[in-house]
Copies of this chain bind each other. A is one copy, B any other.
């Protein structure tokens, strides 16, 4: 039978910090939550859209600049942008005739954190920066 005790964390009990999927089993809610975002990233078109938008960090991209980069209809691009927005990865704002999309780094930061395994317990990277320059 083997009844391996699946390590019952205690490390990420904080709350919304969601510290890593790799150190402790996710509960159903967290899994469902994260899955929505990963699903949004699970399409090549959306990944490219996000990278186009995010690589303009601080800036914005007009839909009119995104659409022509694909061999897809404009409604389809709009649909993908909507999904990215619902996933909390981007946000949009209408200005005049055009609509601009911009990245919401918080979400990608969260995902990165969730996928980052804590430093091997043998090298504390606590370099006290901010001394020079």
Contacts and interface: CB of A to CB of B under 8 A. Distances in A.
B43 A39 contact: yes
How many copies are assembled? Answer: 2
A55 B40 CA distance: 24
A22 interface: yes
Nearest to A62: B2
Contacts of A46: 35
The 4 closest A-B pairs by CB, nearest first: A39-B42, A38-B41, A112-B115, A31-B44
Interface of A: 1-4, 6-7, 9, 21-26, 28, 31-32, 34-36, 38-48, 50-52, 54-57, 61-62, 64-65, 68-69, 98, 103, 105, 108-109, 111-112, 115-117
